């Protein structure tokens, strides 16, 4: 009951990122719960090999109002970042894990790196797109796709990751997302409503976002040439005029942004333990 109430409050209050669809270090126990309607079907393996995973962990997370970056806050007995690292280490088909993190925090991962030869580091940039670009430079030759994930989303499931990997391999680029639940209104001045946007065309976009390396490099060339600023990874592919496949995700794949999100995440993980 508590989980239901918290999730309902979260969906009603937290800000979401969306775009309009255009017409034509221990192991994680995999979740065995029933997926949401129309969510990615459960699978035992990805069938996509030679995946390069970029985990973005360079943010400060000022809205969390904590004394450390949010990726190092404790969630169910271990740092938020560790949840994502352990998950990607356990996935089938991952050939390299690129952790984008400031050098001052790397010492705590030395032991893991000694045990995990797939783990390499990259420097964070000023903006997200700069961090992704830096991570891209560490992608190994022959990688089938680049899977970009926010460390601040520790609740994503294997099933969803495997599905978005398959979709990207087929279509060139894919992103996890869920249909928008909230009513969204546009305002020009922040004081009065201009119009109500048709939410049937709106999706809340999540990570991972998965792109074939050649397309991502081509997209970054366009971004550099035209001095563009993009807020998420598949927007780079949109700049090329190429399609991006929407992969149905789960509403529990939260981005931890505020202290309330940490409470909800604790409840979600607790409910998964009970299944």
The CATH number of whichever domain residue 91 belongs to comes to 3.90.550.10
pLDDT of 221 > 90? The answer is yes
Report the domain count for the chain. 1
Domain contains 191: no
Residue 37 lies in a domain: no
What is the per-residue pLDDT for 63?
A: 61
Is 222 a member of any domain? yes
Query: pTM of the entire structure?
Result: 0.83
Q: What is the pLDDT of residues 27-47, one digit of tens each?
A: 222 333 333 333 344 455 669
First-to-final CA distance of the chain: 15
Q: Kindly state whether residue 16 falls inside one of the protein's structural domains.
A: no
The span from the CA of 235 to the CA of 32, in Å, is 32
pLDDT of 233 higher than 90? yes
pLDDT recorded at residue 70: 87
In a domain, 17, yes or no: no
In a domain, 83, yes or no: yes
pLDDT tens digits for 118-163?
999 999 999 999 999 999 999 999 999 999 999 999 999 999 999 9
Q: Looking at the domain assignment, is residue 9 inside a domain?
A: no
The top-scoring range by mean pLDDT among 26-30, 83-87, 227-231 is 83-87
**Domain boundaries, position 246:** 51-176+205-274
| In-domain check, residue 139 | yes
Contacts for 89 with CB less than 8 Å, ≥ 6 apart: 97, 116, 118
* pLDDT the model gives residue 26: 29
């Amino acid at each position: 009951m508590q989980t239901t109430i918290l999730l309902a409050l979260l969906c009603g209050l937290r800000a979401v990122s969306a775009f309009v669809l255009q017409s034509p270090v221990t192991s994680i126990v995999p979740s065995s719960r029933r997926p949401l309607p129309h969510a990615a079907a459960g699978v035992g393996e990805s069938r996509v090999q030679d995946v390069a995973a970029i985990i973005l962990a360079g943010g400060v997370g000022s809205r969390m109002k904590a004394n450390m970056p949010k990726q190092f806050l404790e969630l169910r007995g271990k740092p938020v970042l560790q949840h994502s690292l352990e998950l990607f280490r356990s996935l089938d088909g991952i050939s390299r894990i690129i952790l984008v993190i400031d050098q001052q925090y790397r010492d705590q991962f030395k032991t893991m790196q000694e045990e995990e030869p797939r783990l390499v580091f990259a420097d964070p940039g000023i903006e997200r797109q700069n961090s992704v670009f830096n991570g891209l430079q560490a992608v190994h030759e022959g990688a089938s796709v680049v899977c970009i994930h926010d460390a601040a989303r520790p609740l994503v499931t294997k099933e969803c990751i495997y599905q978005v990997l398959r979709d990207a391999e087929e279509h060139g680029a894919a992103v996890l997302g869920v249909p928008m639940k909230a009513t969204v209104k546009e305002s020009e001045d922040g004081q009065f409503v201009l119009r109500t946007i048709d939410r049937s065309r709106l999706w809340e976009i999540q990570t991972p976002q998965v792109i074939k390396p050649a397309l991502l490099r081509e997209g970054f060339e366009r971004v550099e040439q035209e001095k563009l600023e993009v807020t998420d990874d598949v927007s780079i592919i949109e700049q090329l005029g190429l399609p991006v496949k929407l992969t149905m995700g789960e509403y529990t794949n939260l981005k931890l942004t505020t202290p309330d999100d940490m409470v909800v995440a604790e409840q979600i993980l607790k409910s998964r333990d009970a299944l």
